[in-house]
Amino acid sequence: MKQEFTQAEGGVCAAIGFSANGLNCGLNPDKNKNDLALIYSEAVCKAAAVYTTNKVKGAPILVTKKNLAATGNLAKAVIANSKNANTCNADGEEKARMMCELAAKELGIAPEEVIVASTGVIGQILPIEPIASHVKELAEGLSAENHGKAANAVMTTDTFPKEVAVSFELDGKKCTIGGMAKGSGMIHPNMATTLNFVTTDVAISAELIQKALSEIVKVTYNCLSIDGDTSTNDMVSIMANGLAGNKEITEEGADYELFRDGLYEVLMQMTKMLAKDGEGASKMLECTCAGAPDQDTAIIVAKSVIRSPLFKCAMFGEDANWGRILCAIGYAEADFDISQVEVSLESAKGTIKVCEHGAGVEFSEEKAKEVLGEDEIYINIDLHQGEASAKAWGCDLTYDYVKINGDYRS
So where are the chain's domains?
A: 6-276, 284-406
Residues contacting 253, CB < 8 A, separation 6+: none
CA neighbor of 315 nearest in space, from 254, 248, 368: 368
User: pLDDT per residue over 3-30, tens digit each?
Assistant: 579 999 999 999 999 999 999 999 999 9
Q: Is the pLDDT of residue 192 over 50?
A: no
Q: What is the 3-state secondary structure (H, E, C) of 14-43?
A: CCCCEEEEEECCCCCCCCCCCCEEEEEEEE
393, β-bridge pairs: 224, 286
Query: What local confidence, expressed as pLDDT, does residue 193 receive?
Result: 38
Query: What local confidence, expressed as pLDDT, does residue 296 receive?
Result: 95
Percent of the chain topping pLDDT 70:
92
Q: Is the pLDDT of residue 240 over 90?
A: yes
Q: Is the pLDDT of residue 227 over 70?
A: no
Mean pLDDT of the residues in the chain:
91
Q: Is the pLDDT of residue 333 over 90?
A: yes
Amino acid at 221: Y
User: pLDDT per residue over 127-182, tens digit each?
Assistant: 999 999 999 999 999 999 999 999 999 987 778 889 999 999 999 999 999 999 98
CA 87 – CA 76 distance, rounded (Å): 24
CA 151 – CA 227 distance, rounded (Å): 23
Could you check whether the bond before residue 28 is cis, i.e. omega within 30 degrees of 0? Answer: no
Other beta carbons less than 10 A from residue 7's beta carbon: 11
pLDDT band at 276 (very low <50, low <70, confident <90, very high): confident
271, β-bridge pairs: none
User: pLDDT per residue over 285-319, tens digit each?
Assistant: 999 999 999 999 999 999 999 989 999 999 999 99
Residues contacting 362, CB < 8 A, separation 6+: none
Query: What local confidence, expressed as pLDDT, does residue 399 receive?
Result: 82
User: pLDDT per residue over 353-392, tens digit each?
Assistant: 999 999 999 999 999 999 999 999 999 999 999 999 999 9
Q: What is this structure's pTM?
A: 0.82
For residues 266-288, one letter each, b for 16 or more C-beta atoms within 10 angstroms of the residue's C-beta and e for the rest, the string is bbbbbbbbbbbbbbbbbbbbbbb
pLDDT band at 271 (very low <50, low <70, confident <90, very high): confident
CA 310 – CA 274 distance, rounded (Å): 20
Residues with a known catalytic role: 193
Give me the CATH topology for the region 6-276.
Answer: L-amino peptidase D-ALA esterase/amidase (3.60.70)
User: pLDDT per residue over 131-146, tens digit each?
Assistant: 999 999 999 999 999 9
Query: What local confidence, expressed as pLDDT, does residue 16 receive?
Result: 98
Region of poorest pLDDT, from 47-51, 92-96, 190-194, 216-220: 190-194
Q: Is the pLDDT of residue 233 over 70?
A: no
Other beta carbons less than 10 A from residue 72's beta carbon: 10
pLDDT band at 273 (very low <50, low <70, confident <90, very high): confident
Q: What is the 3-state secondary structure (H, E, C) of the chain?
A: CCCCCEECCCHHHCCCCEEEEEECCCCCCCCCCCCEEEEEEEEEEEEEEEECCCCCCCHHHHHHHHHHHHHCCEEEEEEEECCECCCCCCCHHHHHHHHHHHHHHHHCCCHHHEEEEEECECCCCCCCHHHHCCHHHHHHCCEHHHHHHHHHHCCCCCCCCEEEEEEEEECCEEEEEEEEEECCCCCCCCCCCCEEEEEECCCECHHHHHHHHHHHHHHCHHHEECCCCCCCCCEEEEEECCCCCCCCECCCCHHHHHHHHHHHHHHHHHHHHHHHCCCCCCCEEEEEEEEECCHHHHHHHHHHHHCCHHHHHHHHCCCCCHHHHHHHHHCCCCCCCHHHCEEEEEECCEEEEEEECCEECCCCHHHHHHHHCCCEEEEEEECCCCCEEEEEEEECCCHHHHHHHHCCCC
Query: What local confidence, expressed as pLDDT, does residue 48 receive?
Result: 97
CA 202 – CA 215 distance, rounded (Å): 18
**How, if at all, do strands 284-292 and 376-382 pair?**
parallel
pLDDT band at 1 (very low <50, low <70, confident <90, very high): very low
Go through the chain and tell me how many residues it has.
410
Q: What angle do CA 396, 402, 405 make, to 5 degrees?
A: 115
CA neighbor of 201 nearest in space, from 11, 39, 5, 41: 41
pLDDT band at 405 (very low <50, low <70, confident <90, very high): low
- The CATH superfamily label for domain 284-406 reads ArgJ beta chain, C-terminal domain (3.10.20.340)
Mean pLDDT of 239-249: 98
Q: Specify the higher pLDDT residue, 402 or 85.
A: 85
Query: What local confidence, expressed as pLDDT, does residue 354 receive?
Result: 97
Q: Is the pLDDT of residue 191 over 70?
A: no
